[in-house]
Structure 1
Amino acid sequence: MPLPTALFWERRDVAGAEHALLEARTGLYAHGTALAAAPVPYACHYELQTDPGWLTTRLDVRTEGAGWSRSVRLELAAGRWRVTATESGDLDAALVAAGHARAGLPGSEDPDLLYGAFDADLGGSPLTNSLPIRRLDLLKAETGVAHRLSVAWVLVPSLEVVQADQIYTPLGGNRVRFASETFSADLVCDDDGFLVDYPGLAQRVTPGS
């Protein structure tokens, strides 16, 4: 069935873009494609499902570039994550040739480290920042109150899955401050909690803009 909503972001950190199709009436179902020119040129295809309360239940991701491809699936059930991954070709060779460090293996060596994470964060994707914003109803929450989260962070393009601590703080006016250990940005959202502007990473493009 065709999905009713399309969102498009232009990357600001590297040459690239993301296009997502979604349905958000009872939770979120989305699939999309992100393209980026760094650290090596790659395409990232994903499919995302949440429950009606916007708790992530499944994330499938596939990345591919010249001479390599990888995939990972995250599934959350009874508070525990199941992570399965595949790879073919040699991403490390492409990274080293471009002057970058080798990548971690796709997936997670110990999914139990993700226990307590209710959101999946796909690296470089402004769509997945909407998951905690909607799940916690942050656009209507008390301003200035920080919400500390544990997330399952999927690094792109390696598809290594790691636990990450993040902080979301409502600022009012459809703005939410996002912070991690080494980074902070004031996100601008539309009325539905989807990002319009992620300073330094991506900006939404609308027809005619």
Structure 2
Amino acid sequence: MSQRSRPATTTRPRVATVLPRSLLWQRTDVPGAEHVVLDDGRGLAARGVAVAAGPVEYTCRYELVTDERWVSRSFEATAEGGGWLRRLHMDRTGDGWRITTAEQGDLTAAGQPNALPPGTDDPDRLADALDIDLFGSPLTNTLPIRRLGLIDGTVTIVAAWVLLPSLAVVANAQTYTVLGPGRVRYASGSFTADLELDENGYVVNYPGLASR
């Protein structure tokens, strides 16, 4: 049975120490960047650092692991800035996500007064989410593309959307439409972006967000 968010216990390492590949994106919307090391030989194991300057300056360090089918199995992140630090740990069990959180300091006093608490008060809303989507991270757009083997057509999925810098988690409907070789349109609500991908499905250019 799914559990509500609660204070985190000691987390355990998820990703092997040495990973063979590296990707680096430069943010184009705000000053910032994301660097990821990864192994995608059998699913994905990734460790990344994202830094951004708006609307609150933050650094987010994360680890993400999928199974061989590219279904997200675990995700953990630490986001921090001046006067605050938040942690999130997510594990997908047989019937949904188990989520734990921890918080130090006060993000709301650091320039984001409307920040949601980390995690979610109802993990059952995420029961259909097979993909993690980290806010502002081009890496996580690859997850449903690889999981579904998307080469044509249109698909709509529900992702566990991890907001930054709050580390709040919400269920988010997202649509991916193949436009042609190496081009996929991402849509969520009224937002759309035409993504340029490399031969492995990783984002090369995300208009208005990041490029490499």
**Equivalence for 1:15:** 31
**Equivalence for 1:118:** 130
Task: Tell me the secondary structure at the aligned position of residue 146 of structure 2.
Answer: helix
**Equivalence for 1:154:** 162
Whether contact under 8 Å (2:107, 2:113) holds in the other structure is no
Structure 1, unaligned runs of 5 or more: 205-209
Pick from 114, 123, 136: which aligns with 1:102? 114
**Equivalence for 1:43:** 59
The answer to whether structure 1 residue 128 and structure 2 residue 158 are counterparts is no
RMSD of aligned residue pairs (Cα, Å): 0.9
**Equivalence for 1:63:** 79
Task: Tell me the secondary structure at the aligned position of residue 200 of structure 1.
Answer: coil
Task: Tell me the secondary structure at the aligned position of residue 59 of structure 1.
Answer: strand
Task: Tell me the secondary structure at the aligned position of residue 178 of structure 2.
Answer: strand
**Identity, % of aligned positions:** 51
Pick from 40, 45, 49: which aligns with 1:33? 49
Whether contact under 8 Å (1:21, 1:32) holds in the other structure is yes
Whether contact under 8 Å (1:167, 1:178) holds in the other structure is yes
CA distance in 1, matches of 2:95, 2:204: 31
Distance change in 2, residues 1:189/1:79 (3 Å): farther
The Cα shift of 1:194 comes to 0.7
Whether contact under 8 Å (2:44, 2:67) holds in the other structure is yes
CA distance in 1, matches of 2:182, 2:98: 34
Whether contact under 8 Å (1:79, 1:116) holds in the other structure is no
**Equivalence for 1:200:** 208
Q: Deviations over 1:117-150 (max 9, x none)?
A: 1001000100001100110111xx22xx220101
CA distance in 2, matches of 1:83, 1:153: 13
Deviating 4+ runs (over 3 angstroms): none
Q: Deviations over 1:76-109 (max 9, x none)?
A: 11140111111000100011xxxx4420000010
Q: TM-score, normalised by structure 1?
A: 0.92
Q: TM-score, normalised by structure 2?
A: 0.90
Structure 2, unaligned runs of 5 or more: 1-16
CA distance in 1, matches of 2:40, 2:154: 25
Counterpart residue type for residue 59 of structure 1: F
Aligned residues: 196
**Equivalence for 1:93:** 109
